[in-house]
């Protein structure tokens, strides 16, 4: 085993950032920010001498040796730009890295040094102390066969779900560990990369229908082995083995297992082929792309046809349908199919947390008429049944955001980030919460972190222009709209943002033409309410306040009854003396108070 995490590792802190010079990691709030190579080395040099000038010549001698043929000026400028991008900094108004023309650069922030060994709580975000972070890696297939590759991720997924269900441990989700499948890994390195104290790794040997599974639990902080378990079984008994491994790991970590290994849970199906199809579908869903999601749906549909009583397959099928409805093909078709799968799962098992979660998701769509309260009740039930459910917490928080429970939304999303620090969706919506509190700097920081993790994230690109629009940075907003259109060319919300941009420029006729095009829209999308909200702002600017209030009423009826946002939005201050706007705000306040009483 590699050396201990705590051996002579000094953590340098400046502002809200932490740097581990030895491992080459930059983190903010426990979330790892991608910064490698020369940009990181520049940061390391600045940290060595905070407040002092590091000259360009010093940078050249250390990072660009004389025998290296490069364009030094271009190289150092690129490195500084990438460093500033990672820090969310600006050359014009620097908070961290100051440029001294023709001389060099200076770190403006003070630096604190702390030994990682004396501060274990610094490994994870604030509020996580007391719960250990665990990563269950894909199991290595020691008898390589492409037909059996699905077992690697599927087995890890089962252990992850069982360990994380009760919320006692912070278990990294399947999507965060799937990239380690088929990789030769060092547990210590992975612990650093995933920001966890415990690593679970294992192997699978398959001989026909016989399996031999071996799992090992590492305490990365102390370079020690907590547990080694081995099981031999038939493929048909794989579910029982998964249950035993999860129970043994939970006990080794001092946590409650969701089921007892002494009394294993009943197998979810008596049909081996149905179970195999289920496992293959689980592996496909971990990839989160259109083709694999459609393939998973075909597998799960076949599984429930073979065994109509297979509850877990119905619940995963509902999840796959909702992924299609929300991410890949918005519309009522997939929501209706999801609703049928949800009903079957809940009829078979009224306490199935996944099915309650997907029911909440289906209710909060255009096809479900955005039944906010019913959706929140379903998601709350999912969280009660499975406190560690990231998906339920995420969408519960998203709805909290839309109905104006901003504190509750932030708390929920931060708890999701504790489990998965690289969850771009949570970062985007935390940025939206900051935006709705009119804290544009914080909103920008969350979006930049989301872009670092997933540069093509659809939601980040949709929300990003609004920050610049509200700040009055019109040229920056125009550029962000242009970039977003490369992913979402005809999206109505981008069209409404474009209309708001032209209204702020005083081009009212063009703004009205664009907003009419946006309101004609296309398919019923999940974020149509944001189109109405932005359209209302346009109509205020072009002098049509009655139409603005009507559009806000539509937004509130389609999933955005956001009393505090509509009340405080700077675009609507001029409506504060209009009776129809005041009546709308009063009604929304009563609705908001009801949400606070039941869910706050």
CATH number of the domain where residue 90 is located: 1.10.10.10
Across 72-81, 124-133, 477-486, the highest mean pLDDT is recorded for 477-486
Long-range pairs for 574-582: beta carbons < 8 A, 24 or more residues apart:
574/540, 574/545, 575/540, 575/545, 575/548, 575/549, 578/545, 578/546, 578/549, 580/546, 580/549, 581/545, 581/548, 581/549, 581/552
Residue 5 in domain? no
Q: Give the helix ranges, DSSP H, for 208-289.
A: 238-252, 272-285
Same domain, 365 and 354: no
- Residue 31, pLDDT > 70, answer no
Q: What's the mean pLDDT in 185-193? A: 81
Same domain, 261 and 319: no
Instruction: Tell me what pLDDT residue 522 has.
Output: 60
Same domain, 277 and 412: no
265 burial class (0-12, 13-18, 19+ CB within 10 angstroms)? middle
Quote the DSSP letter at residue 390: H
* DSSP H or E stretch at residue 225: strand 224-234
Same domain, 439 and 585: yes
Question: The dihedral of CA 367, 369, 371, 374: what is its sign?
Answer: negative
Residue 33 in domain? yes
CA-CA-CA-CA dihedral for 45, 51, 56, 58, to nearest 10: -50
End of a domain among 246, 267, 288?
A: 267
Same domain, 335 and 452: no
Same domain, 453 and 480: yes
- Residue 1, pLDDT > 60, answer no
Q: For 338-385, write each residue's pLDDT tens digit.
A: 999 999 999 999 999 999 999 999 999 988 899 999 999 999 999 999
- Residue 564, pLDDT > 60, answer yes
Residue 498 in domain? yes
Same domain, 466 and 519: yes
Q: For 137-162, write each residue's pLDDT tens digit.
A: 999 999 878 888 899 999 999 999 98
Q: What's the mean pLDDT in 64-68? A: 59
Residues 6 or more apart whose Cβ sits within 8 Å of residue 66:
none
Neighbours of 533 (CB within 10 A): 25
Residue 182 in domain? yes
Instruction: Tell me what pLDDT residue 482 has.
Output: 94
| CA 472 from centre of chain | 28
| CA 431 from centre of chain | 12
End of a domain among 333, 360, 387?
A: 360
Q: Which residue has the higher pLDDT, 4 or 147?
A: 147
Same domain, 88 and 143: no
Question: From CA 273, how far away is CA 51, in angstroms rounded?
Answer: 65
Question: From CA 161, how far away is CA 388, in angstroms rounded?
Answer: 9
Instruction: Tell me what pLDDT residue 145 has.
Output: 84
Question: From CA 264, how far away is CA 268, in angstroms rounded?
Answer: 11
Same domain, 425 and 534: yes
**pLDDT interval class at 15 (50, 70, 90):** confident
- Angle (nearest 5°) at CA 192 between 186 and 196: 105
CATH of the domain at 352: 1.25.40.10
Same domain, 392 and 416: yes
Say which range, 193-207, 497-511, 550-564, has the weakest mean pLDDT: 193-207
Q: What's the mean pLDDT in 418-432? A: 91
Domain that holds residue 140: 124-267
Q: Which of 86, 395, 252 has its CA nearest to residue 403?
A: 395
End of a domain among 98, 116, 134?
A: 116
Please name every residue paired with 233 in a beta bridge, in sequence order, or none if there are none: 211
Residue 1 in domain? no
Q: What's the mean pLDDT in 281-286? A: 91
Say which range, 37-46, 109-118, 457-466, 499-508, has the weakest mean pLDDT: 109-118
Q: Total domain count for the chain?
A: 4
- Residue 395, pLDDT > 80, answer yes
Same domain, 411 and 342: no
Say which range, 34-48, 89-103, 463-477, has the weakest mean pLDDT: 89-103
Residue 4 in domain? no
Torsion angles phi and psi, residue 216, rounded to 5 = -135, 140
* DSSP H or E stretch at residue 14: strand 10-14
Q: For 372-385, write each residue's pLDDT tens digit.
A: 999 999 999 999 99
Same domain, 461 and 334: no
Mean pLDDT of the chain: 87
Residue 555 in domain? yes
Instruction: Tell me what pLDDT residue 65 has.
Output: 63
Residue 400 in domain? yes
Q: Which residue has the higher pLDDT, 408 or 245?
A: 408
- Residue 547, pLDDT > 90, answer yes
Question: From CA 575, how far away is CA 201, in angstroms rounded?
Answer: 60
């Amino acid at each position: 085993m590699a050396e201990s995490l705590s051996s002579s590792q000094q953590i340098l802190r400046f502002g809200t950032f932490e740097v581990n010079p030895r491992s080459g990691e930059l983190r903010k709030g426990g979330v790892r920010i991608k910064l490698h190579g020369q940009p990181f080395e520049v940061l390391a040099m600045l940290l060595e001498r905070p407040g002092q000038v590091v000259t360009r010549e010093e940078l050249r001698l250390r990072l660009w040796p004389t025998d290296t043929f490069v364009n030094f000026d271009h190289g150092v400028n690129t490195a500084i730009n990438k460093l500033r991008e990672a820090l969310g900094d600006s050359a014009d108004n620097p908070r961290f890295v100051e440029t001294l023309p023709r001389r060099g650069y200076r770190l403006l922030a003070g630096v604190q040094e702390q030994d990682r060994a004396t501060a274990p709580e610094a490994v994870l975000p604030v509020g996580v102390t007391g719960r250990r972070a665990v990563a269950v890696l894909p199991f290595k297939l020691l008898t390589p066969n492409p037909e059996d590759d699905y077992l690697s991720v599927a087995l890890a997924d089962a252990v992850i779900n069982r360990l994380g269900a009760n919320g006692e441990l912070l278990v990294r989700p399947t999507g965060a560990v799937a990239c380690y499948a088929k990789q030769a890994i060092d547990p210590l390195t992975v612990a650093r990369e995933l920001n966890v104290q415990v690593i679970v790794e294992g192997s699978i040997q398959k001989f026909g229908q016989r399996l031999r599974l071996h799992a090992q639990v590492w305490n990365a902080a102390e370079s020690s082995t907590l547990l080694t378990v081995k099981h031999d079984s038939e493929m048909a008994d794989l579910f029982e083995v998964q249950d035993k491994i999860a129970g043994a790991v939970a006990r080794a970590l001092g946590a409650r297992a969701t089921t007892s290994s002494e009394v294993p849970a009943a197998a979810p199906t008596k049909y081996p082929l149905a179970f195999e199809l289920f496992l293959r579908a689980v592996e496909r869903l971990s990839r989160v792309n259109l083709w694999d999601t459609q393939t998973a749906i075909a597998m799960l549909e076949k599984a429930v046809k073979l065994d109509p009583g297979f509850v877990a397959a119905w619940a995963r099928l509902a999840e796959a349908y909702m992924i299609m409805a929300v991410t890949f093909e918005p519309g009522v078709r997939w929501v209706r199919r999801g609703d049928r799968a949800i009903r079957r799962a809940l009829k078979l098992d009224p306490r199935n947390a996944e099915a309650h979660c997907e029911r909440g998701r289906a209710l909060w769509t255009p096809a479900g008429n955005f039944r906010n309260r019913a959706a929140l009740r379903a998601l709350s039930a999912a969280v009660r049944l499975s406190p560690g459910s990231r998906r339920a917490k995420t969408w519960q928080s998203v709805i909290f955001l839309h109905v104006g429970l901003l504190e509750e939304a932030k708390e929920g999303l931060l708890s999701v980030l504790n489990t998965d620090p690289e969850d771009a969706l949570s970062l985007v919506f935390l940025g939206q919460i900051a935006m709705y509190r009119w804290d544009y700097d914080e909103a920008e920081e969350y979006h930049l972190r989301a872009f670092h993790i997933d540069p093509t994230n659809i939601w980040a690109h949709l929300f990003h222009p609004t920050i610049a629009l509200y700040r009055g940075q019109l040229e920056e907003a125009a550029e962000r709209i242009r970039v977003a259109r490369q992913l979402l060319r005809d999206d109505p919300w981008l069209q409404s943002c474009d209309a708001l941009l032209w209204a702020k420029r005083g081009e009212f006729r063009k703004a009205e033409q664009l907003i009419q095009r946006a309101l004609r829209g296309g398919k019923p999308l999940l974020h149509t309410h944001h189109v109405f909200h932005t359209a209302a702002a346009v109509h205020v600017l072009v002098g049509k306040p009655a139409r603005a209030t009507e559009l806000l009423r539509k937004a509130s009826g389609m999933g955005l009854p956001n009393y505090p946002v509509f009340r405080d939005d700077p675009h609507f201050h001029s409506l504060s003396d209009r009776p129809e706007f005041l009546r709308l705000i009063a009604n929304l306040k009563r609705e908001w108070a009801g949400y606070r009483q039941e869910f706050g």
